[in-house]
Structure 1
Amino acid sequence: MSMDEWIGEKIPDDILDEAAMWIARLDSEEADRYDRKEFALWLEQDPLHGQAYGELTPVWARMNTLGELKDAIGTGNVVSILPAARKTLADDENASPIPQWGIVTAIVLIFVGFLAGTLGKTEVTTFETAVGQQQQIALEDGSTVYLDTDSRIHVRYSENGRHVTLEKGEAVFVVAEDKERPFEVETSFGEVRALGTEFLVSDLTGHKQVSVLKGTVQLIDARPDPALTEFEHHNIYAGQPRRRTLEKGESIRILSPGTTDSLEAAVEPDWLDGVLSWKDVPLSEALSEFARYTTIRYQLAPDLSPDLLVSGDVNTYDSKSFLNFLSSYNIAATSRRENWYLLSSKK
């Protein structure tokens, strides 16, 4: 029986090779969420990927030799595995007749992947900044990350994708174009996917935002659509995430669950130039933002409203600049102890 007759449609050998590698990779005890995300991306790239995976998966299951294969890796004796695999299939009365060369190819490919210890998998690299620190990071594909203060990202590149997890904080991503490997940023509220673009992602307490400075990104929002009922979300849409496209100049502020997000005009963040700019923002919001850049803490006295609207510019790392800014609104700062100020209205 020919390969075409077996699978009903010719699948290129390189796709079969990749499918065999994915079977082994996902069956490994070391498989993690990054592997599963990359596998999902691989399936999306070509309908034949899913077909090849579906055809080879039963072969792997019927062989039931994964344990023997792992033992053989330790000895380098892959030859002993092949007869066992062929016999397992031959003894399976329900197994479809599959050409010997197809079995051998799949097993050898899987073995080689494990022996090499790669299977397309790379290490996760972590970058982080302390309070009051910023960092410019050059990634291996030519992309650049501008990491703001008190922020942390985890970067993992592979043959199938470029993955960044923004654990906390804020970052600007200038992405090198690579049509074969989407660039994904994972956040607490969803994922941002791009090919070649420039965008800002904020994942801060009380402030979550995506702004597109150049190109186009797709926001894959894991939160339920507030326009849907719980029944519609789980039964009609099967809990699928929302996908929204943002173009250059667009910015979306992610609000609390059950509320409609706010669409705004995107602007390049001032912190890239060491400045914070506010226009009619509540005093409490300005305080929270400035506090990310300093170890000094500020507390509002009862006579000072946190909703007082303020406007102006301050240097991110200059406490004196911030105190002068407060003074322009008749706000006095009284030192109570080291690195701690009480803010009150001037008498």
Structure 2
Amino acid sequence: MSVGHITRLDDLAADWLARLESPECSMAERAAFEDWLAASPRHVEAYLEAERLHLLAAGLADDELLRAAIGEMSPPAPRTASRTRRSRWRPWSAAVAAVLVLAIGAATWLRPQPPQVAGYATAVGEQREIVLEDGTRMLLDTDTRVETRFDADLRVVELISGRARFEVGQDPDRPFLVRAASGTVRDIGTTFQVSRRGDDIDVGLIEGIVLVSRGDDGPGRRLAPGEQLHVDPQGRFTPTRALDLEVANGWPRGELVFRKRRLDDLLVEMNRYSEVPLRLAEPELAGIAVSGVFRVDEQAALVEALRQGWGLRAESRDDGVFLYGPAE
């Protein structure tokens, strides 16, 4: 990317920031802004940088030390000839000292810091909430592994396996990314979920805005609240579809919400929470449509519901609990 292109991108981001803060900004302009963000991850980075510089400038305007230093650097008032050359330059020396202190402080602040790397995992049947140093709340579902890497420029979470929900903390200086297989989810202050099975990725947006892309710099797809999409191992997107919010909000409460879903899908989900799997003894049972709300930690209650509602029978063996159809 050329320097000229970067400069133009920065100017566009600054223009968007000014337009959005104007009380005359229309809904059509806000929609156009969201489309501009979704066009490229670099647009998101440029906007976040413009917002950061704006906040930094606002903070410096109220910095009393900086204002005092600037005041001392004003041209000195005329002095009488009796004053020595040394005393006449004393205010300038103080101002230079103040500026040097600011410069040394800035150099210390800007010195690259080693990234903060951490790993988190849950066992089968366990859910765990972690609050990261930026205030982000990360809920890990059963049998989930993640690695976080925070540095001065980025906040990155690598979803290695499982499922996680993110309520992202505000940090205009550093974009928040979730990487999973070939997909990257770029957040702009929001709540979303990412699920990974092998290299298949599902992303669901609860609130806010996210941009899902192929890698960090690939073409992106913007999600609106209540939408989800699937990314296959080759990085291809499925069409965006509606997210069932009751289902999405169910598993963080320890509940599986099913509406006319296949029985084999239900067992796959339920088995993620148990060391003793439920299995189908008869493959033709897989397509039975099941609806209901099932506690992830109550396998016996699910078996009883299947017995009462669908007439299925259960048999415990060393390698799991096997389900059979109704007795003839």
TM over 0.5: yes
1:167 aligns with 2:167: no
Q: Secondary structure at the match of 2:116?
A: coil
1:248 aligns with 2:225: yes
> Residues of 1 paired with 2:305 and 2:136: CA distance?
36
> Residues of 2 paired with 1:314 and 1:207: CA distance?
25
Q: Secondary structure at the match of 1:168?
A: strand
Change (3 A) 1:119 1:215: same
Alignment map for 1:154-303 (pairs within 5 Å): 154-205=147-198, 208-222=201-215, 241-255=218-232, 257=234, 261-266=238-243, 267=245, 268-302=248-282
1:333 aligns with 2:276: no
Moved more, 315-324 or 137-146: 315-324
Give the Å deviation of 1:298: 2.0
> Residues of 2 paired with 1:256 and 1:127: CA distance?
24
Q: Secondary structure at the match of 1:119?
A: coil
> Residues of 2 paired with 1:303 and 1:184: CA distance?
41
Q: Secondary structure at the match of 1:178?
A: coil
Alignment map for 1:1-80 (pairs within 5 Å): 45=46
Q: Which has the larger radius of gyration?
A: 2
Change (3 A) 1:242 1:45: closer
> Structure 1 runs of 4+ off > 6 angstroms?
none
1:138 aligns with 2:131: yes
1:125 aligns with 2:118: yes
Seq. identity, %: 29
The AA in structure 1 aligned to 2:218 is: P
> Residues of 2 paired with 1:172 and 1:345: CA distance?
36
Change (3 A) 1:151 1:344: same
Q: Secondary structure at the match of 1:124?
A: strand
* Equivalences, count: 226
> Residues of 2 paired with 1:206 and 1:314: CA distance?
27
List gaps (5 residues or longer) in structure 1: 1-6, 12-39, 47-108, 224-239
Cα displacement string for residues 274-294 of structure 1 (whole angstroms, at most 9, x for unaligned residues): 111111111111110000011
The AA in structure 2 aligned to 1:204 is: R
Does the CA contact (< 8 Å) of 2:183 and 2:201 recur in 1? no
Cα displacement string for residues 216-253 of structure 1 (whole angstroms, at most 9, x for unaligned residues): 00001249xxxxxxxxxxxxxxxx72211111121113
Does the CA contact (< 8 Å) of 1:253 and 1:264 recur in 2? no
Moved more, 179-188 or 319-328: 319-328
Instruction: Using structure 1 for the length normalisation, give the TM-score.
Output: 0.59
Matched with 1:314 is: 294
List gaps (5 residues or longer) in structure 2: 8-40, 48-103
Does the CA contact (< 8 Å) of 1:334 and 1:341 recur in 2? yes
Matched with 2:10 is: none
The AA in structure 2 aligned to 1:193 is: R
The AA in structure 1 aligned to 2:314 is: A
CA RMSD of aligned residues (A): 3.1
Change (3 A) 1:341 1:126: same
Does the CA contact (< 8 Å) of 2:200 and 2:233 recur in 1? no
> Residues of 1 paired with 2:147 and 2:235: CA distance?
29
Cα displacement string for residues 157-206 of structure 1 (whole angstroms, at most 9, x for unaligned residues): 11101000000000100001222211000001310001311101111248
